A = this chain, B = another copy of it.
């Protein structure tokens, strides 16, 4: 039986879950995987926290050098989060030839090149399944399950916090503020929710997933990002009337004209498999040229689901002799290949407020025709005083054309574009 000693850096939520799985299921892994995994030490300044989890006193370290120099440790698990210390610790481990397993999306997204280079130099493994979509084995699927495919698009609900908020707003009619407060109360959202609600978290993950799917490095800085803080109950109700629900999607597309990578609130037709992904669940919907459509669904966060991904990486590393890196191509080449937002192709949904007068609707629709935008659907909605709402859904069109149309509508003075949302059918 193969013996594997691991060290856990940080015993927060994910580190704690990982420790729990490894200690509770040691015999199970011996029996089913023929591997004996022992936690040799942990790096944790909060001694009480470590003791409460049952870590023996002598295994609690506070100095990274003690951890990476421990000859009984062959795999180092980085779950402290953040970038600076995490990067330093991961490099320290790789530099002495230890394999690293990380759940740190921000670190991996920003420094994967450096980490991979150092890992290769020292013949150490580098695994990051837990960095994206928690327990759902999406990295493994992209690297080991769909290799036969040129992936043309991926669309994901890859942030549980925002999906929870949007589900509450849609199903219970809550306001954005109330839904956020409830997410915070349940521990789904941080006190400062910016990383989730402004789409940073989803954009980190999309950068990693798109890089793997499209075999080229798609830098975080090139991911277009729009959050959900501006979403109102009215937008959701309007969407429902038209047969859509509202989701924060992370979208990656490969076209002959380049790669589109974007995170934004999106109307998703109710029949689409992503539309029924609710609460804090995540899902990624992938289209490959051979396999067609594939979707993976599950818990995107949490101590045990993310711990499941980390332990899966440990077992993978222990039972495969080839070291796993992501093998992205160089950044410069990809940079040139990522589209500008104005070149995105999508269907759009526009809500416009206009005076409740004859002829106004035809003026608006004429303006769309002039900008070469054809319309799928037009809905007149509630009157407010002497104004009326119009909701329009376009066929797929270039974002630039929509921006031009919006500018011209707003210049009409009597009309006001209230929201512009992208649409997936």
A293 to chain B, nearest CB (A): 6
Cα–Cα, bound, A215→B25 (Å): 15
**Which residues 291-332 in A have Cβ within 8 Å of B in the complex?**
291-299, 302, 304-305, 307-312, 315-316, 319-322
Question: A140 an interface residue at 8 Å Cβ cutoff?
Answer: yes
User: How many copies of this kind of chain does the complex include?
Assistant: 2
B315 touches A147 (CB 8 A): yes
Cα–Cα, bound, A315→B31 (Å): 28
Question: A42 an interface residue at 8 Å Cβ cutoff?
Answer: no
Question: A33 an interface residue at 8 Å Cβ cutoff?
Answer: yes
Question: A385 an interface residue at 8 Å Cβ cutoff?
Answer: no
Give the chain B neighbours of A312 by CB distance below 8 A: 144-148
A307 touches B21 (CB 8 A): no
A372 to chain B, nearest CB (A): 35
Question: A32 an interface residue at 8 Å Cβ cutoff?
Answer: yes
**Which residues 203-261 in A have Cβ within 8 Å of B in the complex?**
215
Give the chain B neighbours of A135 by CB distance below 8 A: 288, 290-292, 294
Cα–Cα, bound, A288→B271 (Å): 28
10 pairs, A vs B, C-beta closer than 8 Å: A21-B290, A137-B141, A146-B308, A147-B315, A148-B307, A291-B309, A293-B299, A295-B295, A295-B298, A319-B322
> Which 5 A-B residue pairings sit nearest by Cβ, starting from the closest?
A137-B145, A148-B311, A135-B291, A294-B298, A290-B308
